[in-house]
Amino acid sequence: MKLATDAPLTYRLMQRTLWALARILLRIEVTGVENVPASGPLVIAPNHIHTFDVPIIGMVVPRRTAIFAADKWRGKLGGWVLERVTHVIYVARGEADRAALSQALIVLGQGHALAVAPEGTRSRTGGLQPGKHGVAYLASRTSAAILPVAVWGQETALRDWPRLRRPAVHVRIAPPIYPPPGAERARTAELHILTDELMLTLAAMMPPQYRGVYADRV
């Protein structure tokens, strides 16, 4: 397993610890790590089906990754732990949070990596939901690469562990998608095209039952 080379010791230790636990609790298969750009602004764009998505992606992507977290975690133990490990951008749910957006643009503008679920929220069915334009907007405004990451199987963990089973978790990382030249001024139509490319890439990497609203287009 590769460790984040651009991260402080606490982040590398976190990755190593999570990976050791994962090898005990899960049958985990990861492909495409070589597709992760070693440097430069990067928007990591995974599907979102479970709370475990965040630690799984954090341990397999070999770069320190800033994350979004609901504002309710600010000042709580969970938020405190995350803040000790990486950069956390708190988001006010249910409203347009311009402060969080500004922080995200700063992170990417400084050449760092940021994880953003393109669906905007967790899928209740496990299948892909329509992609929002957030990832495309952030990437286009900062010339960041978009890294599609498909992950599935972790949603069965809480069902399998009491039965002493190790769920099979699959992580697929596709080659990055780059916004076209001049995308920093992209309008809604251009953002939709970039979002559609991202979502179809995610769908193509996943089994049919996880493709959701994109099943008929893959």
Across 34-38, 157-161, 168-172, 197-201, least confident range: 157-161
Tokens of residue 72, six digits:
């309710």
Picking from 51, 65, 42, the residue whose alpha carbon sits closest to that of residue 121 is 51
| 62 vs 12, residue with greater confidence | 62
- pLDDT surpasses 60 at 3: no
Which structural domains are found in the chain, ordered by start?
29-208 (3.40.1130.10)
pLDDT in tens, 99-127: 899 999 999 999 999 999 999 889 999 99
